[in-house]
Amino acid sequence: MSKKILSLLLGLRIQGGASSFVINSSSSAAITERTSACSYSYYKHSNSQIANNNSNLNFQSSRALFGTSSSDDATNKNNNNMCDEVAAAKAAAAEYKSSDADGAGPETAFDNILSGKWPSTKVYEDSTVLAFRDINPQAPTHIIVIPKHRDGLTKLSNACEDQEGILGHLLFVAQSVGRKECPEGFRVVVNDGEQGAQSVYHLHLHVLGGRQMGWPPG
């Protein structure tokens, strides 16, 4: 192999690695800067998606040039996604803790979806609950189920006895859409607090399916 070709290949390898690192760092920075406007900002999803798309290009280039396996690629992508979610959760927790002491929590992206300011792909709606597709899905089917009126339900651990009805209804809606869209099985996830990787302080259930789930999660 000529020195020129070797130099070119090495240059691509270094550029790919550096580019992936910079994009992920920028994504985390953008999350931190923009959470003051909205804890679960669609900016976070957009930046994360851009990072993932660019990472995919780097992974493909690396595999073609240096024989990287697809299993290594999947591990790297999962690690990047985990870093993004942890960064988002920490930023959201900090914003929540610094918000008004009345427990209402800061405005979130869900407020913008409920008001119609931001679009969503609706799956189910009634007078108290809305279900819509996550724009950054973690499975072939990924649906978010939320109460329309937050009423202090910033997170599951804040629930009161008089909210048993809405909690039960949220779970009923989750199983209803899950059974319809994922007849072979599905998973319902609720993230709570910083260590639970909650990035939106408006109680919500994730309905995930369409593929084989692993265990343990997280």
DSSP letter for 161, please.
G
Of the chain, the end-to-end C-alpha distance in Å amounts to: 44
Q: Is 206 one of the annotated active-site residues of the chain?
A: no
The three-state secondary structure class of 169 is helix
Helix (H) or strand (E) holding 142: strand 141-147
Q: Which of the residues 45, 142, 202, 204 is marked catalytic?
A: 204
* Residues 167, 126: Cα–Cα separation, whole Å: 14
**Cα dihedral sign, 24-208-92-112:** positive
* Residues 23, 31: Cα–Cα separation, whole Å: 12
Per DSSP, helices labelled H in the chain are: 3-34, 42-66, 70-98, 109-115, 164-181
- Residues marked active site are found at 204
